[in-house]
Amino acid sequence: MTTRLAKIHIRNLRLRTLIGFNPEEREKHQDVVINAEIHYQANPAIASDDVDSALNYKTICKAIIQHVEQGQFLLLEKLVSDVLELCSEHPSIDYAEVCIDKPHALRFADSVALSLCYHRP
């Protein structure tokens, strides 16, 4: 059987968290917009049509929401790294990429964004 790689896309997950190191950023929650792409081996799910054989993106999304909304972060790099870790925990995941936008971070820009990716060795 040919290997089938599935790509899950979580698009524009809008959450609020404490992020930044300036005093006003430490006092008030800010919006962040999360985009994630997760690649995994889909053959078991395709062959069985069994829910337990598929990657549960709802579980991953709930973990992201809980971590982001309950966390405090000085740097966007740390937030993105934490979310990437949540997106790449399952052993069937071969690749994951996370990009998080911080709207209103710069006066004349829509947002500032940072991306990180994971490749299973």
pLDDT, position 3:
82
pLDDT, position 11:
98
- Would strands 72-73 and 5-19 be described as parallel, antiparallel, or unpaired? parallel
pLDDT band at 1; cut points 50, 70, 90: low
The token pair at 90 is 């399952």
pLDDT, position 25:
79
Does 22 score more than 90 pLDDT? no
Kindly report the pTM of this predicted structure: 0.92
Classify the C-alpha dihedral 42-43-47-50 as positive or negative: negative
pLDDT in tens, 35-85: 999 999 888 888 888 888 889 999 999 999 999 999 999 999 999 999 999
Q: What are phi and psi of 72, to 5 degrees?
A: -135, 135
